[in-house]
Structure formats: structure tokens, C-alpha cells
Chains A and B, each alone.
Chain A
Amino acid sequence: MAQKRNQDQWTRRAFLKAMGLGGAGSALVLSGCGDTDIINNVDIEVRKELVEPNVDPQDFVRPGVETWYASTCRQCPAGCAVHARVREGRVLKLEGNPNSPVNKGRLCAMGQAGLQGHYNPDRLRKPMLRKQGELVEVSWAEAEDALKKHLGRKNRKLAWLTGAVSGHQAAIIKAHLDAAGVSEDRFFVFDTLPPAVGHAVNESIYGHMMPKYDFGKAELIVSFGADFLATWMSPVHFAAEYAKFRMPPRGTLVQIEPKMTLTGANADRWIPIKAGTEGYLAKALASLLARDSEYASRLPADVLASIKQVNIDEVARITGVPAERIHKLRALLTTKRPSLVLSGSSAEGTAHGAETANAIQLLNVMLGNVGATILPRASSPFPDLEPRMGGWRELAQLADGLNKGAIDTVVVYGSNPLYQAPKALGFEQAWSKAKMRVAFSMFPDETTMASDLVLPIHSYLEEWNTSMPAYAAEDGVLNIQQPVMNPVFGPESTRPFGDLVLQALGTIDGKYRRWKSFADYIKESLLAMRPALKDTFAPTVKGQTAEEAFLQGALSQGFVRIKTGEAKTLKAEPAVVSLPAKPPSQGAKFALVPSPRLGLWDGRHANLPWLQELPDQIAQVVWDSWVEIHPATAEKLGVKTGDLIRVSSKQGSVEVKAVVLPSVRKDVVAIPLGQGHTEYGRYAKGVGVNPYRILDPVYDKQTGELAVYATYVDVSKVADAGPLVTLAHGDLVLESNTSTQAGREIVKTVSAKQFNRTEKEEG
């Protein structure tokens, strides 16, 4: 029996043991009899002194033995499935789930760095409420009251603003809007990188916003600025597809864009084109192809008529791409088939983005790629779980609603418009008009810090959820997300997003009270979905119920496959090409390319030190912003790497250091996205500049999306590279490497012809 002693009765021995075992929790084995001390709730069995490591043993935790949990990465909307390595109750490493059709076991840098979001020292740990204009930390009880008060009621002026969401999270947000008596068009989704214009154009041409691409089958990919290796929808998936495409017989990649992206850096031919003129090149190619009746016959007469009259030399002048190159491209397109023509952000983010995307997709139609490399989708029985993506148009609608007073309560989750929206959009003013702004957030980002009620939520490694990939590699895959460890800051600091929404829902509508937590809600939904799933999981252990077996199987697989309908054939109905005769002249100004990068993405990863320290793939800069300038332009301006440059548009200016690189056009300057946060924790705040802030409010008329690549700027030198240049030693590295390996043949190159001759085909 345990015998209690007073502190002053401590023996030296007991004291030493307590020192050695301080805070060991219940780690000691307690024996039934013997002389046992109870010090600081630590039981010490004197005679045997069995001591185990300092761990709070949970289920499945064995000290020194790792456990792997299947879950889903939420670092970008791609929805890669992951395996999380857990030891002693801590998640240590994320790796791709090899069974997943999305990422096939691989994971990009951003996915790896999810751990640093999870363990981020700047994570919010207490709810905050705005009192007398100041955000102050409050208790959860008070925060819950505020949550119930503002979201737990019918409110016709409610709106939700989220980043790309899907799965059951999207479903309960919709349910909340329903319960509050608001229609679904108050569910605004704002994310800057998913190709909103492309989705709209795809919808009109193919009848589906995102058909499936078969890279492996294509012999040629001509990409108008689609940076599929880094920032386009599902980078890990497309990188794997790219690897397939590059196996013998090796496909050829041509990338057409004003500033080299990672995809451009891997292209066989990178064609620098004047910003905003991609449509003219596509139209010229279409016109050249149309001389051949095989291609022309695939187009309706009116569309064909719209591309008939093109002067190639004129196009060469407009686009800056030599006429010979245009003819050569046409020759490539006709010889290498099937091919795939992609349009990406630099083509779609122009003043005539939709027309440009239409002209580009026209090529696919003419070349007969639809049905060959562009494949139809099967319909899903659960449309509510499909990913919701949106862009600038929805943000503008929200701002409009706020300005007009039609919306007074905004709930924001996973979106950061106060960081991303250009000054010219006036979103700050609209935001300040809302009476109540509720933020579900992990970090003190710009939008969170400008809200009235801030609810710190669990990281994606601590909570339950389901999601669907933004680009489905296989139709009908529902990813499951489960907590891989106990909340880092304990259950009293952060709460699961789903639980909080359910709580608000339960206040309005009693039927939602039957789920104690979002976890129960998800488990129940998954069980209910069973008949609609392809996967069945038989009991593996004696006495296991079918439900338990299903949950165990689904959770360890990390996703479930939904039975989908037959894939319909795609239609192929491009619209008439209606680009203006020539783009407006910009004089001596430079086109500003706000370039996204694999790493910081749209800025959401600027608080992850691993990603801040991952060099940009092209410019190799870390921990900073920079402006890329072509050597010829730099010479003209008298600028060298490291000099401070002022880049000014009509909306304002930013000062940023120059990096002189040949990978931008001479009439283009590029500033990477992701930096320039005014909030967002120690790693992001005050680092670099945000090019989005100085964008001109130019919109694509068809879709209402902001033309991100349509701002023209003046560039001037502010100061010489001084001793305070952050690139200090990097400076020389950059300059020496703009051209040379100094004859060392570090990277050797062979021609594709030789490669195809000597290498065997795989599989």
C-alpha cells in the first residue's frame, strides 16, 4: 500500500530520485506492496526501481517504436495523401502515401513542411475577441458564448469566406449557411492560385471545369504558362506524370511564358513571350494549322472564320516570338501527336484571359487531343463533397455585399484576402464595414488580426476531416484526415474547426447536436457512405464488427474510392476567338509578373522556416523578396544584383532588391509571391514585399477575375548594392552561375534523339 510522507520527511534517496524523475508523470511502474513515495504525484517503488522513459503512454504508443498514420496533406488544395511517422506521441515526418492515386507516395517541399505549421511557435493558442477596438485574449467559455451569439442564430446577412475547401468541411459550412437561412451563394471561396479563368473556359468548351490530362500518352506538351511542376493545381501528381512523359519515347515540352517558371526551366524549349500576348500566338498557330483541312474540319465555321485572317509577321511583332519560331511550333504540333496544349496563369491572368484560354484550348480541339490526351470525368454521387474553388470574382462579390450592407457577419477560414487583395480593390474598406468578423485560424495572419472573434483551431495533423483533391487524378477519391497526435498545445488551447462549426450549428438547429464532435460526424458519414464506395474492408480481427473493420480499413488506407458513374465523352466546342486586333501599347513600361513559387505558394507558407530557407528554384534566393531583371535591361538601367530597385505602378510602389537573371523577358520584371506579410508571425512578418498590393484593377471581362499579369510598372534604381545586401555571398554565386559550369561538366546533357535510341522503354 502506498504510504504518504510529508515533504520534510524526505530521505536523501527519495529526493535524488525525484530530481532524476521530475515530471515523469505516471511513468513508473507501481508495485502492490513496498515502500512507495508519493512526490509531485510521482510514485516511486523503492525496492524494484523500475523506471520507464518520460512518456505519457497512449494507445499504440510504445517508446522507441514508430507508428505510421495515414492522413491527408492540407498545405495546398492538391490533397496528397500522407503517412505520418509518429514516435512517443509526436509526429516527426510526413511521407507520401504510396497507395494514393494523387501523389503515389511522394510529397513536395510544402507537404514536408506541414510539420512546421503544426509545431509553429506562432500558432494561436488562445481565442481572441475585439473589445474597444483591440483584440484581447479571452477564455474559451467567453469565446464559445460569442461564437454561439454570432453564428448560432438565423442571420440573413451571414457570409462565409474560405480558401479552397472540399469534403465534409465544405458540407458543414453549407449546412451552416442553410441553417442560418442564407443561400449558398454566400459561400465565397477565394484562393489566388487555382485557375479560375481556366476552369470557366474548360466548362464552356468541354462541359467540365477540369478534364483529366494524360501526360504519359502525349508526345508533345505545349504549355502557355501552366506551371504544372510547381504551382498548377496538383504539383506532385503532375511531376509524376511528367516523369512518365519523359520516359522513352520521350515527350517534348515547350513552355511559353514571359518569366521562366519551374516548368519552363525543365522545358526543351522555353519561349519568352511578351506578357499578355499568348492569345495572339495561339491564334496564329491555329490559323497556321487551319491551312490543313484535317485540323480545320474539327472547328465550326464561325470559329474557323475568326482565326482565318492572321498575319504571322504582325503576330511575331506583337508577341516578340520570331516568325520562324511560330512556324517551327506549328511543325512540331503537326508531327508530334497526340499532343497536349495547356493554358496556365500567365496566359489566363491577362486582360483577355478567357479569350486567351479559349484560343489555347482551340488548339487542342483542332489537333484532336480531346479524347486522346484530354479525357472526360465521371460524375460523382456526392456533389457536395466536390472541391469548391474560387477566385477574385467571389472576393469582389463579398466586398460588394459588405459595401452595400447586404452582409454584416463574415466567417473566414483558410483565406487571407487582407494580405492578397491589391490596394486598388479596396477590400480593407469593405472588410471594415462588417459588424462581426469571425476568423477560424491557426496563425495570426493579416485577416485574422483584422477580425473581431478569433478562434484558434487545430492543425490538420490534429483534427478529423475529409477532402477531395483539387485536381482528381482518379475520379471519386475521398481523402480522409485523422489526428496523428494529441493537440500540440493541449485540448484547452486549440479546438477542431469542425467541432466549433457543429457547435454553432447545434445552437441553430437541434438535429446537429447529436454529434458530439466533428470526428463522430465524419465517422458516421463515412459509415453511411459505405454502399456508395468501391472499397470494402473485411474484419481482420476476431470479434471486430463490420463498422469497426470499415473504419480501420479506411483510416489505414487514408482514403476511400466512391463508385462513380460512367465517364461521359467531352464536348469540344470552342468559342469564337474574339481578341482585339492588337494589345494596347504600354510604351516603355515593364510588365509586372507576380510569380508564384513552389514553396511559399500564395504566401500561406511564409511562416514556415524550412520553406523560407528553401532556395527559389530559379533565382536561388532565400528569406527575401527580389525583382528579376534581364541582364540587358539591367545594363540599360545600370543595375546589378543586389541593388535596391523601386517598382511602381499606378497603385503604388515597392522597393526590392534586384536579381539579374536571363530567365525573364527584357520587357518584364518579376517579383515572387509570398512575402511582404504585415502580420503572420516571426518568420513571415516584415520579410520582403508583396507584389499583389500594387496590381492595377484590370479584370477579365468574361469571368470577372482579376488580371494578375496585366500591371505595367516603372522601374528605377534607388540605391547601390551596399555592404548590407542580404545576398552578400549569394551575390557572387548568382552572377557566376548565370552562365557557367566553368567547363566542369557537372551536369551533362544529351539529345533526346540519342536518349530515345539508347534507352529501353520501361514497363
Chain B
Amino acid sequence: MALKRMIENWSRLRKRDYYEDSPFMWGMSIDLNKCIGCGACVTACYAENNLPVVGKEHYATGHAMHWMRIERYWEEPEGETDIDIKDGEYPERGAHYIPMMCQQCNHAPCEPVCPVAATYHTTDHLNAQVYNRCVGSRYCGNNCPYKVRYFNFFDYWKDLPSPLEMQLNPDLSVRSKGVMEKCTFCVQRIRAAKDQANDEGHPHHVEDGAVKTACQQSCPTQAIVFGNLRDPESEVAKQWEEHEVELGRHEQDKSEDLRGYRVLEELNVEPCVMYLDRVRDTEA
């Protein structure tokens, strides 16, 4: 009984990190100094995760299903002035690109509000979405500060003309109407790597680099680093450490010079994705 389990685990439940002793916490680091905003990751995600193409009409009504999007801002840091050219006339420092997908929050605001517990935290510290369980109240979508949850407003797979369906990845399902979905950190790849590690006799250790998310894999500038934050040897854990970004803090106590930050960190949702500041040569 779930209730019994709950009572048994009461002291655990009250802890800040429920799965404190789990050997896995999948995390990401995205270097905005390298990101060029080309969109390779977006398309790779479409290919890997059976994302539907919604078409012009549905896109126009805001029903697009890209799990990953590249945001483009023009705004400049304060105090930037330019010779002889009126401020703001042209974005002379280029655009601000940021790939935005599910941040796999440790204090995910989407999780407590789901009436049927269709979204929950896995022992791997992933924010999972159970399609079968979802009834489509869309509360999670509202409560997501990053707005990275995507709702199947229609049965898009019905619009897929043959033989395009042959491309669909059999490792994960095609979602039907009325179900919420979002970036899973390519959980099917994580699953496969963990199974392999298990077969090889080390179930608590997945080699760094054995899991590459589709976006990371395709990124032409390798701006995305993915791995296990609980593995101190992993590239991503090293980057987090180097930039002094820590989980379990809602305000990072770190030097101003370091570039690591998490988007909307002040909301205390503990995202597992760290971004590294964009860089511009202000002397050029």
C-alpha cells in the first residue's frame, strides 16, 4: 500500500533530498560562450524523441511541441555605449541565445501540483512524466517557471503521412492528445546505459560519456555537457565545481567572476541545468 510506504518512509520524505543516497543525479551544463543558436539540438530532439511537427496553423496558435527551444534576446548589459551610433538602433553586440528545455528541477514546482502524480521525481533525480497516468489538467504547465512543458492539444501522430512514421524511435512512445510532455534528458538513452552498466556488473556507475543526450550529441560547438553530477569524475560535475554552482543553495555563494548560474535561481526550484555566461569582447 502506498499509504503504508509513505508512513514507513516518513522521515525520508521530510528530507530536502529524498534520494540523497542515489548514485545518480543527471545534470547539464550549457556554455553560452559556445552556443551559437543554430538549432541543431532542436532538430536532433525532434528526431530522437518522436516530437510531432504541428504545422503552420497549430504553430500559430501556440501549440508547437519542440521540447527544446532557442530563445533569442536583443537586450544589452547596462552601461554599454557606442561610438556615434544611437543606443539600441542596431543590436551591435549580436543576439543573446539560450537553449531552454526542462531544467529537471530538484524542487520541481510541476510535481506537487499534479492531481494524479503523473509527474514525479525518479531516483536518478529526473523529473519524469508518466504519459499513461496523465489526465491533462495542465497545472504542471502553469506552474513551470520555464514554460518548458508541452501539451498534446491534438492527436498529432494522426497527421503523420506514410512513410514518415518509419522514422519514429521505438524506444519511446508516441503521445496521444490530452497528455503533457517535456524534455526527459533522453531517458531512453540513460536507461540503455544503465542497463549496460548493470550487465557489466557495475550498476552504480555509468561511465562518463556513456550517455549523450541527442542535443548534446549534435551540438556543433559542443556547448552542452551532460552527465552524472554525483560522479565527481564526470565532466559536468567538474564544470559545476569549477564554477562553484552547488545544489541545495538557492543563492550561490560564489565569486562574481565565475560564469556559472542557473536560470531563475531565485525561485528556489533547484534546476539541474547550469548555464555559463555569454561572453562579449566589449573592447571590439
Contact = CB atoms under 8 A, between A and B. Distances in A.
B180 interface: no
Given A266-B37, A623-B56, A753-B283, A610 B96 contact: no
A267 B40 contact: no
Given A267-B94, A752-B283, A93 B40 contact: no
A280 to B, nearest CB: 18
Nearest to A687: B56
B264 interface: yes
Contact of A105 (B46, B75, B96, B217): B217
A662 B162 contact: no
B220 A752 contact: no
A269 B284 contact: yes
A746 B73 contact: yes
A751 B34 CA distance: 14
Given A268-B94, A332-B284, A755 B279 contact: yes
Interface string B9-38: 000000000000000000000001110111
Contact of B282 (A624, A663, A665, A753): A753
Interface string A225-259: 00001100001100110110010001011110000
Interface in B182-229: 214, 217-223
B218 A112 contact: yes
A757 B43 contact: no
Contacts of A87: 170
B50 to A, nearest CB: 10
Contacts of B259: 748, 750, 755, 758-759
B4 interface: no
Contacts of A67: none
A91 to B, nearest CB: 8
B249 interface: no
Interface string A662-687: 11010000000000000000100001
A260 B283 CA distance: 20
B162 A121 contact: yes
Contact of A121 (B59, B91, B95, B161): B161
A739 B61 contact: no
Interface string B252-284: 000001110101100000000001011111111
B280 A599 contact: no
A264 B40 contact: no
A758 B258 contact: yes
A322 interface: yes
Interface in B95-120: 95-98, 100
A242 B219 CA distance: 12
A622 B56 contact: yes
Contact of A614 (B43, B89, B166): B43
A665 B89 CA distance: 9
Interface in A484-520: 488-489
A250 B43 contact: no
A610 B84 contact: no
A106 B39 contact: no
A747 interface: yes
A622 B60 CA distance: 9
Interface string A610-639: 111111011010111000000010000000
A727 interface: yes
A738 interface: yes
B85 interface: yes
B75 A739 contact: yes
Contacts of A745: 261
A407 B89 CA distance: 53
Contacts of A94: 47
B282 A262 contact: no
Q: Indicate the member of B36, B70, B163 with the most A CB atoms within 10 Å.
A: B36
B61 A728 contact: yes
Q: Indicate the member of A229, A250, A740, A747 with the most B CB atoms within 10 Å.
A: A747
B48 A93 contact: yes
A334 to B, nearest CB: 14
Given A112-B40, A613-B64, A748 B278 contact: yes
Contact of B42 (A614, A624, A687, A744): A614
Contact of B53 (A93, A322, A609, A665): A609
B72 A246 contact: no
Nearest to B218: A107
Contacts of A488: 163, 166
Contacts of A111: 40
A8 B261 CA distance: 73
B133 interface: no
A384 to B, nearest CB: 31
Nearest to A220: B284
Contact of B47 (A610, A665, A737, A752): A610
A240 B222 contact: yes
B47 A749 contact: no
B91 A109 contact: no
A328 interface: yes
Contacts of B220: 103, 106-108, 235-236, 239-240, 243
A237 B202 CA distance: 37
B3 interface: no
A240 B38 CA distance: 12
Given A235-B220, A614-B39, A617-B72, A751 B167 contact: no
A239 B75 CA distance: 24
B44 interface: yes
A623 B59 contact: yes
B96 A749 contact: yes
Contact of A262 (B36, B100, B261, B284): B36
B280 A749 contact: yes
Contact of A95 (B60, B70, B217): B217
A45 B88 CA distance: 77
A391 interface: no
Interface in A102-154: 103, 105-109, 111-113, 115-116, 119-121
A121 B160 CA distance: 9
B43 A109 contact: yes
Contacts of A726: 56, 60
A92 interface: yes
A543 to B, nearest CB: 30
Nearest to B84: A322
B60 A730 contact: yes
Nearest to B261: A748
Contact of A749 (B55, B59, B279): B279
Contacts of B92: 269-272
Interface in A140-198: none
A119 B281 contact: no
A243 to B, nearest CB: 4
A462 interface: no
A270 B96 CA distance: 13
Nearest to A727: B60
A93 B62 CA distance: 27
Contact of A617 (B70, B84, B222, B223): B70
Nearest to B242: A760
B44 A618 contact: no
B281 A729 contact: no
Closest 3 pairs (CB-CB, A-B): A239-B220, A623-B56, A243-B221
29 contacts: A87-B170, A93-B169, A106-B220, A108-B40, A109-B40, A109-B42, A113-B43, A121-B161, A252-B281, A255-B94, A266-B97, A268-B280, A268-B282, A269-B93, A322-B84, A599-B39, A609-B55, A613-B46, A614-B42, A615-B39, A618-B72, A618-B95, A663-B91, A730-B60, A746-B73, A748-B278, A751-B279, A753-B283, A754-B257
